[in-house]
Amino acid sequence: MLDLREHIPSGKKAMKMLIAIIKPFRLDAVREALADAGVQGMTVTEVRGFGRQKGHTELYRGNEYTVDLLPKIKLEVALAPETVDRAVEAIQKAAKTGQIGDGKIFVFDLDQAVRIRTGEAGVGAV
């Protein structure tokens, strides 16, 4: 059986996992900015959420939503540690409109990643 622990390079910094919640119409710009930052893959999900205004005063497609949960896009990106700062900056720049509801970026330590086809693990897999 594959022991994932043995693939974690000792003494090296862990990979990072980044979750970003953005406005749907900024997705193309963010995707391009992340590609320019060297990101090789990502997962995109349509989600709903709210922030401090609880969705009440935010506009979506020109309409003020009366519901609490607004449509957002969730991006999940696994990264080599040295790519994180560039990726966060790229998302912030490309997703920002300056209006409320622009979203959030969350960064986590990522213990392991495995590229299924090749069996590569660790930074080589992302």
Ligand X SMILES: Nc1ncnc2c1ncn2[C@@H]1O[C@H](COP(=O)(O)OP(=O)(O)OP(=O)(O)O)[C@@H](O)[C@H]1O
Rule CB under 6 A: is residue 70 a binding residue for ligand X?
yes
Rule CB under 6 A: is residue 117 a binding residue for ligand X?
no
By C-beta, is 40 or 97 nearer to ligand X?
97
Which residues make beta-bridge pairs with 17?
78, 108
Sites for ligand X among residues 84-113 (CB under 6 A): 100-104
Question: Closest residue (Cβ) to Mg ion?
Answer: 51
Closest approach, Cβ 51 to Mg ion, in A, equals 3
Task: Please tell me the distance from the alpha carbon of residue 105 to that of residue 101, in angstroms, as a whole number.
Answer: 12
By C-beta, is 102 or 120 nearer to ligand X?
102
Q: What share of the chain is helix, strand, coil (3-state, %, to 5)?
A: 30, 30, 40
Site size toward ligand X, by CB under 6 A: 13
Sites for ligand X among residues 28-57 (CB under 6 A): 49-53
Contact 31, 97 (CB under 8 A): no
Tell me the HSE value of 41 on the side-chain side, using a 13 A CA sphere: 10
Contact 114, 125 (CB under 8 A): yes
Positions touching ligand X (CB under 6 A) are 21, 49-53, 70, 72, 100-104
